[in-house]
Amino acid sequence: MPRKSRIDAPGLLHHVMIRGIERKPIFLDDQDRNALVDRLALVLPETQTACYAWVFMDNHAHFLFRSPPAGISHVMRRLMTGYAGYFNRRHFRHGPLFQNRFKSVLCQENAYFKELVRYIHLNPLRAGAVDDLKSLAALPYCGHGGLLGKNLRPWHDADFVLSGFGDSVRASRKRYIDFMKAGLNMGRRDDLTGGGLVRSLGGWEAVRAAFPSKESRQKSDQRILGDGDFVQSILNQAKENLSGKYLLAAKGIDKKTALEKASALFGVAPEWVLAKSRQRPLADARSLYCYWAAKKLGVSQAELACELSMTSGGVTHAVNRGRRIAMENKYILDG
């Protein structure tokens, strides 16, 4: 599946995950961990980003952020770029530190806020890094202790989290601990890392068929964690209509399919379409392929530019030209 654009808007809740490239460590010792803590202390207040839960593991980290006015991507670029530069300099290494870009799952707050706080803070227990909740509270690189008044970081909004468990600090902490204890045997929660359902069932239409009510349609986009109404409202805000992309994917229609069909319509070999020739009908087939890939399958124009050895401006021109070709000749990818 092509990588989809990130969905974001100020005030939305994000479960953010960063992971080391090839699952290698991103922290080798406490000095490294403190370096990222220092960057969080600098970047979060400057960008007005609220953090409700966080944990550092050896090769990955989790955060529960509220997106600031500048957007979650701006925050993560500052955090990851600065820390990666520090890590490479200190450990005499070169190249990327993190596995691709960060993963963020936009979350429905009223349904998943507490669950995500618990899921994130229980990571060290699930991994066997600590033995019990008492040891977890003493861990300096996890937000659990901060909620109990230990190792509290000024950028960790513990008060907001505790306000959801009671009116007084004492009562809130007791209820929070009881909530954490109730989650000790839940194991890994794949349902809290976003999406997956739409793919596993074979597309958006299959999700609707399997779960007719909006309330029962969970995780209908890998970038969003919430019920059907929430998911649809977010997609509407983002001015997206992903039904077509998922429906095409469910039918096995991908970039290769688009390339082969565009080639067949103009009677040329697929490998010729990928060449730089501007002669017709190769240029027409290439333009149609670019349009279908970018607008029907969600392939990024940067990816197409790399595949076709074209400039980004050239791909934009090809996509627009391909749209005209498709409309004038009534060429349909799924048909």
Amino acid letter, 334 = D
Tell me if 259 sits within 8 A of 247, measured CB to CB.
no
Instruction: Check residue 303 and give its pLDDT.
Output: 84
* Domain-located, residue 6: no
* Domain-located, residue 22: yes
* Domain-located, residue 5: no
Strand order in the sheet with 50-56: 50-56, 60-66, 13-19, 103-107, 224-225
Last residue of a domain, one of 249, 270, 292: 249
Q: What angle, 0 to 180 degrees and rounded to 10, lies between the N-to-C axes of helices 169-182 and 109-121?
A: 70
Q: Are residues 177 and 43 in the same domain?
A: yes
Which residue range forms the structural domain that includes residue 214?
194-249
Instruction: Check residue 188 and give its pLDDT.
Output: 61
Taking the mean position of all CA atoms in its chain, how far away is CA 211?
24
Q: Are residues 22 and 119 in the same domain?
A: yes
H/E stretch holding 102: none
CATH number at residue 318: 1.10.1750.10
Q: Are residues 19 and 157 in the same domain?
A: yes
Q: Are residues 131 and 112 in the same domain?
A: yes
Domain count of the chain? 3
Report the residue count for the chain. 335
Q: Are residues 219 and 259 in the same domain?
A: no
Q: What is the DSSP string of 140-200?
A: TTBHHHHHTTSS--TTB-HHHHHHTT-SSHHHHHHHHHHHHHHTTT----GGGS---HHHH
Scored b (16 or more CB within 10 A) or e, 200-214 reads ebbbbebbbeebeee
Mapping DSSP to helix (H, G, I), strand (E, B) and coil, where does residue 43 land? Answer: helix
Q: Are residues 40 and 154 in the same domain?
A: yes
CATH number at residue 137: 3.30.70.1290
Q: Are residues 27 and 81 in the same domain?
A: yes
Q: CA 5, CA 222: separation in Å to the nearest integer?
A: 11
Instruction: Check residue 12 and give its pLDDT.
Output: 82
Q: What is the pLDDT along the chain (335 residues), one digit of tens a residue?
A: 445 555 566 678 888 999 999 999 999 999 999 999 999 999 999 999 999 999 999 999 999 999 888 888 889 999 999 999 999 999 999 999 998 778 887 776 677 889 999 999 999 999 999 999 999 999 999 999 999 999 899 999 999 999 999 889 999 999 999 999 998 887 565 555 544 333 333 444 444 554 444 444 443 445 556 555 555 555 555 544 445 665 676 677 888 999 999 999 999 999 999 987 778 899 999 999 999 998 888 787 788 888 998 888 889 999 999 999 999 999 998 86
